[in-house]
């Protein structure tokens, strides 16, 4: 049976065009591919089950102290119309932390766009039949797939809010990466877009669960099976504790942006990225990572922290705390617990320079805004 969304997608001219070989003749190969893509994209959100997910996930979530900022912005936006939550992407924990930030404040949950590698096994069933996540082939080159995906997103936005990650995948360097524009372009093609709003969303952690995995890989050369990544993450979770900060920003209206103008699509993507960068919570571990050097005296570290706080303040950073002494104490403790630093009475020594560099780069967008951002991998 063909559901309502699928019928609407097949009726869209940009999809129908790929099913016509010439004139009114059907290209059966393209038709079969498009139906297969639609079957892959089809998802269901069961909100009553979604609400109780936090209970079986408690063993993971108890390690994360969740903080939510400016939920009132989202509440007002959802009362006015459809919302696109566009976020940076730090960790696989984002898929749990950010939707629960909305659930904790009694705001309707969005459908989530996630990499197709997360849809294998029991996790895939959870995504497809409970959370309502959409599997995305990020490296797809088939024009029929891209047209089908954009049409599906446009139709879905008539019925649901949507959350997706502007960078595509997680950042392997720590920096906020350059934006991917495909889903923004799809949203701009939706009917009723003049009543839709983008809510820029930033997620930040004291320490990231996959920090060592990401820092050593440095760049994503190929998509790995999530089961393998999950096994590595379980090893990283021993003794793991962190705080998460989900911060919502002032909505960006979608009215007035031309979906047929590449310049408009890129401008909207970069405006959203800039907003996310300003919302991003600056935590002590990141500031310490920017400053610390091998065998550095604590007095020198504290002076550097004070200097960096001044630069971040001038850039309009969203601080967790500004006091240099508090930043030093908390930041060193967080990184020491992850095996990145060794804190001594008068000195701080570096144990893992790769992970230290990963955390330092998380503030690159604020400290060096003119520097070319990390490319999407």
Under 8 Å CB-to-CB from 282, ≥6 apart: which residues?
A: 204, 312, 317, 318, 319, 320, 363, 366
**Which of the residue ranges 52-66, 107-121, 185-199, 266-280 would you say has the lowest mean pLDDT?**
52-66
Q: Where are the domains of the chain?
A: 4-38, 43-279, 284-367
Mean pLDDT of 72-95: 94
Identify which of 123, 124, 203 has the alpha carbon closest to the alpha carbon of residue 163. 203
Q: Which two tokens stand for residue 171?
A: 């950042």
- Secondary structure (H, E, C), 139-166: CCCCHHHHHHHHHHHHHHCCCCCEEEEC
pTM: 0.88
Choices 2.30.30, 3.50.50, 1.10.10, 1.10.150: CATH for 284-367:
1.10.10
Average pLDDT over residues 21-27: 66
Q: Whose CA is closest to 118, among 133, 96, 103, 108?
A: 133
pLDDT surpassing 70 at residue 185:
yes
**What pLDDT shows up at residue 376?**
36
pLDDT at 82: 93
**How many of the other CB atoms lie within 10 Å of CB of 200?**
26
pLDDT above 70: residue 134: yes
């Amino acid at each position: 049976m063909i559901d309502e969304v699928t019928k609407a997608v097949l009726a869209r001219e940009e999809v129908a065009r790929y099913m016509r070989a010439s004139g009114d003749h059907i290209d059966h190969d393209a038709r079969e591919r498009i139906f297969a893509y639609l079957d892959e994209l089809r998802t269901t959100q069961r909100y009553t089950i979604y609400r109780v997910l936090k209970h079986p996930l408690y063993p993971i979530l108890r390690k994360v102290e969740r903080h939510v900022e400016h939920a009132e912005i989202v509440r007002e936006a959802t009362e006015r119309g459809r919302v696109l939550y566009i976020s940076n992407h730090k960790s696989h924990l984002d898929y749990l932390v950010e939707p629960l930030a909305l659930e904790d404040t009694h705001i309707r949950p969005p459908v989530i766009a996630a990499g197709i590698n997360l849809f294998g096994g029991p996790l895939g069933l959870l995504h497809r039949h409970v959370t309502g996540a959409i599997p995305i082939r990020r490296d797809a080159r088939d024009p029929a797939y891209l047209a089908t995906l954009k049409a599906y997103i446009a139709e879905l936005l008539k019925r649901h809010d949507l959350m997706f990650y502007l960078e595509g995948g997680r950042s392997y360097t720590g920096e906020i990466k350059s934006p991917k524009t495909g889903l923004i372009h799809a949203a701009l093609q939706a009917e009723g877009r003049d009543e839709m709003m983008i809510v820029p969303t930033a997620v930040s952690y004291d320490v990231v669960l996959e920090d060592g995995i990401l820092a050593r890989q440095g760049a994503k050369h190929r998509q790995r099976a999530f089961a393998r990544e999950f096994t590595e993450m379980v090893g990283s979770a021993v003794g793991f504790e962190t705080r998460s900060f989900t911060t919502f920003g002032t909505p960006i209206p979608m009215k007035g942006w031309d979906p047929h103008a590449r310049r408009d699509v890129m401008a909207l993507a970069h405006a959203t990225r800039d907003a996310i960068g300003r919302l991003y919570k600056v935590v002590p571990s990141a500031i310490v990572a920017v400053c610390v050097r091998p065998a550095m005296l604590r007095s020198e570290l504290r002076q550097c922290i004070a200097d960096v706080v001044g630069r971040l303040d001038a850039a309009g950073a969203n601080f967790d705390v500004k006091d240099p002494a508090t930043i030093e104490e908390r930041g060193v403790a967080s990184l020491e617990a992850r095996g990145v630093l060794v804190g001594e009475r008068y000195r701080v020594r570096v144990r893992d320079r790769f992970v230290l560099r990963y955390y330092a780069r998380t503030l690159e967008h604020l400290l060096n805004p003119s520097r070319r951002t990390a490319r999407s991998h």
